[in-house]
Structure 1
Amino acid sequence: MNAPSGISYLQDDTLWVVSTRSSLVQQFPRNGEFVRGFGSVGDDPGQLDHPWGVAVDPIDGSVVVADWRNDRVRDFHRKASYCRCWMNWVETQVA
C-alpha cells in the first residue's frame, strides 16, 4: 500500500483499502492476505487519480470510490465489466 486513505469493512470480514498515491483499490480478508485489486493512474475508464475513499454496496457488491483528482465518484460493479461514473456536481442550497 502507498498512502492508504480510505477503508471499508464488511460484515463478511472483508476489508477494502484505497491507496491514494498508487491509485489502487485492494481487497483483503481478515488474515491480511491480498485477494485482488484494481486501478491505475489516469482518467480513462477503470483508472483513478488519487482515490480518497471507498464504500461497498452490501446488496450487489459494487465498489464505490471517491476519485479525488478526477473530480468524480466511480462505481465498479463486481460482476460486470463496466463502471459507472458521476461527474459535474450541481451545488444546491438548503433553506
Structure 2
Amino acid sequence: MPDKKNVRSVQSVAQAAGKKIGNQALNALVEMVGFRADRAEEELEKLVLYVGEAREITLQDVKNCVTPSRNTTSFKCAIACGSAMQLGR
C-alpha cells in the first residue's frame, strides 16, 4: 500500500498543475516509483506533459508513461521472466 504522505504529495503536485488523478492511477504511480516522493513528483511532471490538455491523469496514462523503479515487483518479475527465457525454461 502506498505511503499516505507520498500520495498526498503527488496529489498536491497534480492539483497545482490543474490535473486530477484518480485513486487507481495515483496508487499505481506511487507503487511504480518505489514509494519515493521525489521520483513520484518527477514522473507526475512527465505525466502532466504527456496528457496535455486532458484534465485527468488515468491509470492507462500512468502505465503508458511511467518508468517503473527497479525495486517494483513488476520490474523484478519481468527480469526474472527474461532470465528464465534465456535459460530455456
Normalising by structure 1, report the TM-score: 0.28
- Could you say which structure has the greater relative contact order, defined with CA pairs below 8 angstroms and 6 or more residues apart? 2
Larger Rg: 2
Q: Which structure dedicates a bigger proportion of its chain to helix?
A: 2
User: Which has a greater percent of strand?
Assistant: 1
